[in-house]
Amino acid sequence: MDKIYVNQMEFWGYHGLFPEENKLGQRFYVDAELELDLKPAAETDDMTKSVDYGAIYETCKKVVEGEAHKLVETVAEKLSAELFNQFSPVQGCRLKVYKPDPPIPGHYQSVAIEIYRSRTE
C-alpha cells in the first residue's frame, strides 16, 4: 500500500490528567502515516484522486486543538476516526502523538503513543 506522511505537525492542546494541563495547555506533535492507493493520482496527475496534505493538517489541528481529553490515547483514537471520516481513499493510518512537556519528573525528549488503525477493523 502507498503512503502519505505528514510529520511533526505542532499544535496547542489542553489534554491531560491534571487541571493545570487543561487550563494552561501545552504543545503536542503528531506524525501521520496514511495508507491509500496513490497510483490513480500519479497516473492522471489529478489531486482529487489523492489526499491534500494541507487538509490532513487541518483535520489533525481540529482534533488536537479541539475538545480536551484526559489521555493522549484518546486524542490518537479521535484523530484516526476523523481522518477516516474526512478522507475516503485512506485505508489505514498510523499515528504517533507526542507530548513533549508532560508534568512528570525526569529528563527526556517527550512521551508518545502510537496507534495503527484500518478501515477493516
Strand residue runs (E) in the chain: 2-13, 26-36, 92-99, 111-118
Domains and CATH numbers, the chain: 2-118 (3.30.1130.10)
Instruction: Give backbone dihedrals phi and psi of 4, rounded to 5 degrees, phi first.
Output: -115, 135
74-95 pLDDT tens trace: 999 999 999 999 999 999 999 9
Amino acid identity, position 7:
N
Catalytic center residues: 99
Say what the pLDDT of residue 121 is: 67
pTM: 0.94
Per residue in 43-58, pLDDT tens? Answer: 999 999 999 999 999 9
* φ, ψ dihedrals at 94, nearest 5°: -115, 125
How confident is the model over 94-116, as pLDDT tens digits? 999 999 999 889 989 999 999 99
